[in-house]
Amino acid sequence: MRRRAALFYPQLALTLVLCAFLIVPVALSIAAGVTVNFQQGLKSGLTLRWVAQVWDLYSETIYLSLQIALTCLAATLVLGVPLAYVLARQRGWLARLIEELLVVPLAVPGLAIALGLLLSYGEFKAFRTSWLFILVGHVLFTLPFMVRAVLAVLMSIDLKTLEEGAASLGASFGRRFFSVVLPNCRSGILAGALMVATLSIGEFNLTWMLHTPLTKTLPVGLADSYASMRLEIGSAYTLVFFVMIVPLLIALQILSRPLRRRARPAAATAEAAS
């Protein structure tokens, strides 16, 4: 066996402490969500009572979050993929300006954007009180991720040659877009879609300001349960949230592995979110 450097073990210890710092509370909260009495520990027995109670109290928030996440995904696909294509085709100053502008909603805190939305559209009561108001905030916040993910892939392929080839064979614009461009940026669309869904399901900063008592999303419900319910219910609710979001996060991790080196700047902006 190769001898480890003298500093190997102290460094390993620090890394393990960091890892424990991140994972221990996750594990504790999962455990608390299925324990009869967290204060007494696991010996008080395991139960699904808290999860059932969460379902009774908060199932609507879960449905609404899924509804908003899926609609938001559809909206970012319809708006974002064509925009990414335009930005990939036009590399002038205007395209670069739009690209820069598009990232500004990520740099401005969600709270500020929500205030702006409330001050601009607050008086349109029907809009203000519907779930569409929350959807608008989510689309704004997730659109840059879709555009950047698709744009990164489009920039890495020879779009021009592909399109010219198809055009020379007589393919119309619509045909080229749907059967040449879109299939070629599949991986970017998938990465963008996972990111959009993950961010929308977890979005709180904007949503808290935009929601009404009748339009509560999952994270809004979480904040409510943390503040007013016993620890076990908050934990069970968090467990439900993890079950929804962790598969998305793992899929993102797997998907981003080969992309990581290529799309560094995009990833750096992506990490600025939440």
Query: What is the smallest separation between the CB atom of 192 and other proteins, expressed in angstroms?
Result: 13
Smallest separation, CB 115 to other proteins (Å): 5
Structure tokens at 104: 């500004």
CB of 18 to other proteins, least distance (A): 5
CB of 68 to other proteins, least distance (A): 14
Residue 252 vs 255, nearer CB to other proteins: 252
Minimum distance, C-beta of residue 274 to other proteins, in the bound complex (Å): 6
C-beta of 55: minimal distance to other proteins in Å?
Answer: 19
Decide: residue 94, CB within 10 A, 0-12 exposed, 13-18 middle, 19+ buried.
exposed
